[in-house]
Amino acid sequence: MKSQIKQTSSKEYTATKNACKLCAPLGASLVFKGIAGAVPLLHGSQGCSTYIRRYLISHYKEPIDIACSNFAEDTAIFGGGANLKIALQNIHRQYFPSLVGIATTCLSETIGDDVPMFIREYASSHPDESTAPLVHVSTPSYQGTHMQGFHNAVLATVKTIAVTGKFSNIGHVNIFPGMVSPADLRYLKEILIDFNLPFMMLPDYSRTLDGSLWPEYQLIPEGGTTVEMIRCSAGAAGSLEFGRILSREKQSAGKWLNETHQVDCHHLGLPIGIRETDRFFQALEVLSGRPTPEKYQEERGRLIDSYVDSHKHVMSAKVAVYGEEDLVVAMAAFFSEIGILPVICASGDRSGYLKEELARVFPDDVDQSIRVMDNADFVDIESTVQDAKPDLIVGNSKGYAMSRRLGIPMVRIGFPIHDRVDASRRLHLGYRGTQQLFDRIANKLIEYRQLSSTVGYTYM
């Protein structure tokens, strides 16, 4: 039977009620936190930096400093050039940054500030070597979501830094993982090291946003991709870029490096599930000229073994999944491997590619209907969930109210997770991440069945 995929393309209502997306400068700030010694700077009202800091911090539970050019009412009228320059000067005096990532807000975008010109003026009036590279990314909240802010910041960083030449000839690869957890980033690095493959991963907030206590005071938390490595990205042997939706967009860091510097780009889905992870490891084998290390073959083996052993617990379960489009597509691919039906696939994004990418994931023999919702908010999602009555809700903390009201159990993935303590340590990617997802989902289903059983059972 042909798969029957319904798309609810836009919200029924004009207003957004309980949004399933965040704003663009948040994504950009996160990218800059993954660059060693970098300070993110929001050009606009101080409220934006404060709100974004408090929100990111409630997820990562780590220090996150984001500077601001602190517009006042007259700045909004006369323009923010002077404020930006003062901010840059003060940041240099306090933090000695190795890079300043400047993301705009609605305020500076609406008044039409010419940030590239301000940066040129600042650079020419501060010709000394201590001035850090300044990366500018345009991130008004009225265009796109936090994901666009994230990807645009990665692209802007590569575009600004990689043009300065000084290519490496060590045959390293670039990896653009997208917005994944610090645990995911750590695991990706472990894999690349095990393949003996030198790499430049952008961003890498695995240490800056998931660090230990400080024996000594740190101006900027240690860790992150160095500016030097990002410079070398134009001379890499190849790039790996995650995200099926991202691969459909006109622009990305991987595409730009390919078009401008002829660096081959492997466009892959987020490696969740066996098949997408297999593709990732195949790409690594090609790039490194080495076979997949035994450790990962074993991980893969254990994962499939558990698929087999625990299939009875997950098969035919109906799931509602929501979040960033690329995460939803990757999760759907994984669900399709274990017999789970993602009856609702929802996102606050609206690239326009969600339905097509999900259709590629599901082979023709899927005989259940799947509701695909983009540009969705939680009020839309909840009414659809109420209608479809899935067994499980999978997504970020913002779905908890819905899960509680409808009495449907929930597994938390992605961002934001502010009602659990392990947001940074949650693994989603690769064989190991898939194993954790699989176990959590299977256990949650078992737990719920135990709870709702009239007799109660302990042994299976």
Partner 1 sequence: MADQNEKPEAIMELDGLDPEAVKADLLRVYPIKVARKRSKQIVVNDVGHCDEVPVISANARTIPGLIGQRGCCYAGCKGVVLGPTRDIVNITHGPIGCGFYSWLTRRNQTDPDASEDRHNFITYCFSTDMQEEEIIFGGERKLRKAIQEAYDNFKPKAIAVFATCPVGLIGDDIHSVCREMKGKLGINIFGFSCEGYKGVSQSAGHHIANNQIFKHVVGLDDTVQKGNYKVNLLGEYNIGGDAFEIDRIFEKCGISIVATYSGNSSIDAFANSHTADLNLIMCHRSINYVAEMMEKKYGLPWIKINFIGAEATAGSLRKIAKYFGDQKLIDRVEEVIAEEMPEVEKACKEIRPRTEGKKAMLFVGGSRAHHYQALFNELGMKVLSAGYEFAHRDDYEGRKVMSSIKVDADSRNIEELEVSADPNQYSPRKSSEELKKLEEQGVTFSDYEGMMPTMKNGTLIIDDISQFETDAMIEILKPDIFCAGIKEKYSVQKHGIPLKQLHSYDYGGPYAGFKGAVNFYKEIDRMVNSKVWGYMKAPWEKNPELTATYAWD
Closest separation between CB of residue 157 and partner 1, Å? 20
Phi-psi region of 451 (alpha: psi -120 to 50; beta: other; left: phi over 0): alpha
Cβ–Cβ under 8 Å, residues 183 and 424: yes
The side-by-side arrangement of strands in the sheet containing 318-322 is: 4-8, 369-373, 341-346, 318-322, 392-395, 410-412
d(CA 199, CA 399): 36
Rg of the Cα atoms in the chain:
22
Residue with Cβ nearer partner 1 (2 or 93): 93
Amino acid making up residue 178: G
**Interacting positions 383-402 with partner 1 (CB under 8 A):** 401
**Interacting positions 99-158 with partner 1 (CB under 8 A):** 105-107, 110-111, 140-143, 145
Q: What are phi and psi of 6, to 5 degrees?
A: -90, 140
Q: Position of tokens 């669900």? A: 335
Q: 133, 177, 211, 414: which one contacts partner 1 (CB under 8 A)?
A: 211
Closest separation between CB of residue 154 and partner 1, Å? 20
Give the pairing type, strands 99-104 and 369-373: unpaired
Residue with Cβ nearer partner 1 (46 or 168): 46
C-alpha to C-alpha distances, 142 to 55, 106, 127, 136, 149, nearest whole angstrom = 19, 7, 35, 18, 11
**Interacting positions 261-280 with partner 1 (CB under 8 A):** none
Residue with Cβ nearer partner 1 (107 or 192): 107
For partner 1 (CB under 8 A), the number of binding residues is: 75
**Interacting positions 26-85 with partner 1 (CB under 8 A):** 26, 41, 44-55, 57-58, 61-76, 83-84
Determine if 208 is a binding residue for partner 1 (CB under 8 A). no
Give the pairing type, strands 99-104 and 199-201: unpaired
Residue with Cβ nearer partner 1 (218 or 386): 218
Closest separation between CB of residue 52 and partner 1, Å? 7
Residue with Cβ nearer partner 1 (166 or 404): 404
Q: Position of tokens 């993110």? A: 40
Closest separation between CB of residue 373 and partner 1, Å? 15
Q: 86, 123, 170, 286: which one contacts partner 1 (CB under 8 A)?
A: 86
DSSP 241: E
Closest separation between CB of residue 23 and partner 1, Å? 3
Residue with Cβ nearer partner 1 (118 or 362): 118
Site string for partner 1, 433-452 (x = CB under 8 A): --------------------
